[in-house]
Every structure is written in C-alpha cells, then in structure tokens.
Chain A
C-alpha cells in the first residue's frame, strides 16, 4: 500500500465548477499535512496546510480527518488558472511524503 494515495486523474471541469480532491495516508503517526500545487514543468509550491478543524483560503477549503486518515481539498468556482497538478503531502518525522498527484484541467 502506498503511503499517500490520491484520486487518479485527470479531472476535466468547466469554469465555475466545484471540484474535490481526496487523499488517504497510511501512517497514523504522521504529524502535519499539506496540499501542494505543481504547474507543468515547475516545482511544487505550497498551496495550504491542512488542519483537523478545517481551513479555508478564498475558494479553497482543506479538511483533515485523523481517525479516517483522510485529507480533502475543495475548490469552488474554479478558474482556468487553477489548472495544475495537486499533490497531497504528509509530514513524517520532518520529511515530506508526496502522493502521486491529481491533475486538474479547467476548461472555458
């Protein structure tokens, strides 16, 4: 079993759609959780941290369920500029473990 597993993509959605990404992790001792965004041929960049209480940043909402070892990211009112690969990331003892990524393509 992979340490961090994400929905297989790609997701193709129209502008304005709401899209949800799901992720599970296997190590219950994982300490902190993140979503990273990676544009084509670029390095990953931190999108947001994920907390058990849920957190929101504009159109983006992230949620963590430690009991289920499940992480989610919701994007509302999607824009063309949201097209990228979204990586679910777990911190284990100071090292980042990445999921395989889910590609999002937002179409006009």
Chain B
C-alpha cells in the first residue's frame, strides 16, 4: 500500500512570504490531519478533516493559516504571511479509524 505523500520535502522562505504544502493520504482514508512539529517538541494538531469537512481546527492560527480538502482526497495547507516562529516540520497523517494512523515524511519549513 502506498504511504501518505507530502511535498515539498523542504522549503525555505523569507518572513512575510506565502507557502503551501500538499498532502495525498492513503487511498480510502477518510480522515486527514495536519500537524506542526517545532524542533524539540511533539507534534501539535492544526486541523482534522473527515472527508472534505473540518472536524477540528481549534489550534489553527486562522489569521495566517488555511487548509482545504475540496474533494475529500488530497489536501493543501497554506501559510500567508509566514513568521519566523512558523519554522517547523509540517506532518500530514491519514486514518480510517481511531487506531490506524499513518504519517507522511513531512515538509520541513524554514522561515528566515
């Protein structure tokens, strides 16, 4: 089975610029998550989708972050404008149940 695909692997941008990340979950996985992992910390949930609907976005900084999953399959996460503190690894995960989570390899963002 193919895993969760994410792109790009790395991105370096200047503060105040915009950036977008893409995730393609495992086929058939209805639930998709975006996590932010700052160096030295555990992953923090930003947003959870069930098919194309948002289940939880309580920790998404909505003034600068947005995410969509229009057709209930792949998803994009956007940051506009980026701040220095947004430097982190952005992990996408998908699941069919409360137990079967699979993470992608992540996008490492550096904001300079």
Contact B43 A94 (CB under 8 A): no
A1: Cβ under 8 A from any B Cβ: no
Interface of B is mostly: strand
A-B contact count (CB 8 A): 45
A26-58 vs B, Cβ < 8 Å mask (1 yes, 0 no): 000001100000000111111001000000000
A-contact bits for B31-50, CB 8 A (1 contact / 0 none): 10101000011111100100
Q: How far is the CB of A91 from chain B (nearest CB, A)?
A: 5
- Interface pair A49/B99, CB less than 8 Å apart: yes
Number of interface residues of A (CB under 8 A): 20
Instruction: Give the B interface residue count (CB, 8 A).
Output: 22
Contacts of A42 in B (CB 8 A): 105
Find chain B residues with CB under 8 A from A41 CB.
108
Contact between chains at B101 and A96 (CB < 8 Å): yes
Interface residues of chain A, those whose CB is within 8 Å of chain B, are 4, 31-32, 41-46, 49, 87, 91, 94-101
A41-B108, A101-B41 known, 12 other contacts, Cβ within 8 Å: A43-B104, A44-B43, A44-B91, A49-B99, A91-B98, A94-B48, A95-B45, A95-B55, A96-B43, A98-B42, A100-B41, A101-B42
